[in-house]
Amino acid sequence: MDLENTQSQMRKGILEYCILQIISQGSCYSSDILDRLKQAKLLVVEGTLYPLLTRLKNGGLLSYRWEESKSGPPRKYFEITETGAAFLASLRSTWSELQFAVDHVSHIAVDHESHSKTNQALNHTENNRNQPNPTQSL
C-alpha cells in the first residue's frame, strides 16, 4: 500500500471544498487561490487547479470576470454563484459529519488501545501476584 498515494487522494477529496470556501470569501485570481492553499499546507500546482476551476465553472458553481492588469494581460477573477454557495453549504454540512465520524472513530480506537493497555497491565499485575516470590521460603 502506498502511503503517499493515499494521502494525495485524501487531499484531492477535499480540494473542491477548499477552493469553493476560498472563493466564497470574495472574488479571486487563480494565483490568490494557489497562495491560500499553500498557506494551508495544501500544495497544489496550476495543472491541478485550472481543470478544477473549469469543472466548477461548467457545473454552474463558479463564474468569472476579466479584469485588466497593470502588469500584463487581463486576469480572470472567479466568483461563487448562488448555486455554488448552496453547494458549498451542503459540503460544509458533509465536512462536519465526516469530521465528527473520523473523530469518533479515532477516539474509539484510542480508547480501545488505552483500555487494552490497562487490561494488559492489570493482567500482568494479577499474574505477578499469583506467582510465588522466589525470595520467599516455602
For 93-125, how does the pLDDT look when each residue is reduced to its tens digit (9 = 90+)? Answer: 999 999 999 999 988 867 666 666 666 655 655
Residue 74 lies in a domain: yes
| b (16+ CB within 10 A) / e for 68-98 | eeeeeeebebbebbeebeebbeebeeeeeee
Number of H helices, E strands in the chain: 4, 3
Helix (H, G, I), strand (E, B) or coil at 61: coil
Q: How confident is the model at residue 137 (pLDDT cuts 50, 70, 90)?
A: very low
Cα–Cα distance for residue pair 96/79, rounded to 1 Å: 24
Residue 25: which domain range? Answer: 3-84
pLDDT for res 43: 82
- For helices 46-58 and 30-39, angle between their N-to-C axes, nearest 10 degrees: 120
Overall average pLDDT of the 32-40 stretch = 95
pLDDT above 90 coverage of the chain, percent: 61
Residue 130 lies in a domain: no
pLDDT for res 126: 59
Mean pLDDT of the chain: 86
Overall average pLDDT of the 117-136 stretch = 58
Residue 96 lies in a domain: no
